[in-house]
Amino acid sequence: MAKLIWIDDEVDLLKPHIVFLENKGYKVSPVNNVNEALEMIEKENFQLALLDENMPGIAGLEAIPMIKNIDSAIKIVMVTKNEEEQIMEQAIGSQIADYILKPVNPNQVLLSLKKNLQEDTLVEQKTILEYQQEFRNLSMELSYMKTFQDWAEYYKKILNWEVKFDKVFDNEFADLLQSQKEEANIQFSKFIENNYEEWLQSNDKPIMSHTLFKDKIKPEVEKDKVLLLMIDNLRYDQWKVIEPLFTKFYNKTSEDYYFSILPTATQYARNSFFAGLLPSEIEKRFPQFWFNDNEEGNKNEHERDFLEDQMKRLGLSGKSMKYLKILNADFERKILDDFNQHKNNDLLVIVYNFIDILSHAKTDNVIVNQLIRDDKTFRSLTYNWFENSSLIKLIKQAAENGFKLAITTDHGTIYVKKPSKVVGDRETSTNIRYKTGRSLTYENNDVWAISNPEKLFLPKGNLSSKYIFAKNNTFLAYPKNYNHFVNYYKETYQHGGISLEEMIIPISILEPK
């Protein structure tokens, strides 16, 4: 039973309201002055205080900090007949939970109590009920998925439920949703195997890594100055969670999805985005800049060169462009401090590597591994980082300087659970979700094997090179030290393979408020 204290100098007149609330299961302690209320709050635990704004002696606005000093957790609902904007702003600035105007309606009070004291329970009950009603539809839809549009819309439904379940304490239904997503990934992998090569050979395809800049960013740069923010390794669900941080300063004008190329790895997907070319085309056009998996060299060091070349090909050579890559918090703060030096560019590109660093830290760092236990905690930690980052301050500056904002990523990532044995020679690549090499032995059901990489516009390290891509939540493990390898990588975040999370990723365009 929730305990309330109602502070009002005419509290005797509120007897019918108090009886109404007690009949609804609340325990209400009426008191007619602030001093007596403060003594009661010191002795008892109240979840909420209904506080009259206009009282003799200590008024409501004065009482708020006094109450909070005694019990910072208590929620305060201001009750007033004063509709002056200044009074409302003062009350809201004092962090009240709600605001009720006199004459007080008992149902109005009840609604405020439910919102402030039972919201989590009500949201949980409603979410579970709605998911139970939707479960059958989601299962049946899988039988009718035929196009990339179908898959994108289905995935967005799944991730919307995932985000809703973040507020649900009962994990049973969240686990059921995960099972549905795993089944969807099995079917999605088959869809990719049947359609991916054709996408690369025809015009009937989704927006992909190598066409995204031309299709989505170029039209914006032609009209306005643009801040292009590429957040490495950003999944669609993570974008939906952090989106409100950006829409404080921007209005979203469009949100779309695009498909990462394979492998869903930075070396391939991000280079392809900046070059506007597929990997084998990049290798052919820039042989001095492309390094295969088994070759020494920084594989993402020439993104600026690739982008400058693409802008020339697209007729944007007259536009000024600045490219920045944020790898640590110190450089992030430096860019914020130096923003005035960059604000006159037509295109300001920022590559932000935090999420990629965080996902790899789960593998290598025991503390981070404990913090990120599943997708829910990964989303939560992502939000907390961005909320307190200098990047959000930088976004605010960009909005104030008239930049349009384009937010996207190069690929997503998946929480891997199932090991699959792979045998290869010394030249075999080390990635956990894909392999390329000459002599590969593998479990056929767990991977999509490509014997002719040129058909997928992938470079060949040598004449007999092939690629394999892990499907669903599989990760590729060598037989040597197998148990150690499996324990090290199981339940970590990896990318490079085929899954909804890695391949279907966001592109959003926003304009300053």
Q: Please report, for the domain that includes residue 73, its CATH number.
A: 3.40.50.2300
- Do 245 and 315 fall into the same domain? yes
What pLDDT is attached to residue 236? 97
Cis amide bond preceding 103, omega within 30: yes
Closest CA to 418 of 468, 503, 490, 480: 490
Domain contains 450: no
Domain contains 440: no
User: Global pTM?
Assistant: 0.85
- Do 133 and 100 fall into the same domain? no
Enumerate residues 6+ apart whose C-beta is below 8 A from 82: 53, 54
Q: CA 288, CA 268: separation in Å to the nearest integer?
A: 16
- Do 367 and 248 fall into the same domain? yes
Domain contains 451: no
Residues shown for the chain: 513
Q: What separation, in Å, do the N-terminal and C-terminal C-alpha atoms of the chain show?
A: 44
- 158, 180, 200 - which closes a domain: 200
What pLDDT is attached to residue 118? 79
- Do 129 and 68 fall into the same domain? no
Enumerate residues 6+ apart whose C-beta is below 8 A from 121: none
Domain contains 483: no
Q: CA 503, CA 275: separation in Å to the nearest integer?
A: 19
Closest CA to 473 of 492, 448, 449: 492
- Do 128 and 259 fall into the same domain? no
Q: CA 234, CA 133: separation in Å to the nearest integer?
A: 30
Q: Within 13 Å of residue 2, how many CA atoms lie on the same side as its CB?
A: 22
Closest CA to 280 of 270, 288, 290: 290
CATH at residue 373: 3.40.720
- Do 363 and 246 fall into the same domain? yes
- Do 296 and 403 fall into the same domain? yes
Residues 434-450: tens digit of each pLDDT: 999 888 999 999 999 99
Query: Is the distance from CB of 449 to CB of 420 less than 8 angstroms?
Result: no
Q: Is 401 helix (H, G, I), strand (E, B) or coil?
A: coil
Intervals of the chain under pLDDT 70: 82-94, 170
- Do 292 and 363 fall into the same domain? yes
- 141, 168, 200 - which closes a domain: 200
Domain contains 75: yes
- Do 258 and 302 fall into the same domain? yes
Residues 181-231: tens digit of each pLDDT: 999 999 999 999 999 999 998 888 999 999 999 999 999 999 999 999 999
Number of continuous H segments (helices) and E segments (strands) in the chain: 21, 19
| Domain housing 161 | 120-200
Domain contains 429: no
Q: Tell me the angle at which helices 375-387 and 354-364 cross, rounded to the nearest 10 degrees.
A: 130
Domain contains 358: yes
- 166, 185, 200 - which closes a domain: 200
Number of structural domains in the chain: 3
Q: Within 13 Å of residue 225, how many CA atoms lie on the same side as its CB?
A: 15
Residues 71-126: tens digit of each pLDDT: 888 989 988 876 665 656 665 666 788 888 888 888 888 888 888 887 777 778 88
Q: CA 142, CA 207: separation in Å to the nearest integer?
A: 22
Q: β-strands 27-31, 347-352: how paired?
A: unpaired
Domain contains 95: yes
- Do 275 and 405 fall into the same domain? yes
- Do 124 and 40 fall into the same domain? no
- Do 146 and 106 fall into the same domain? no
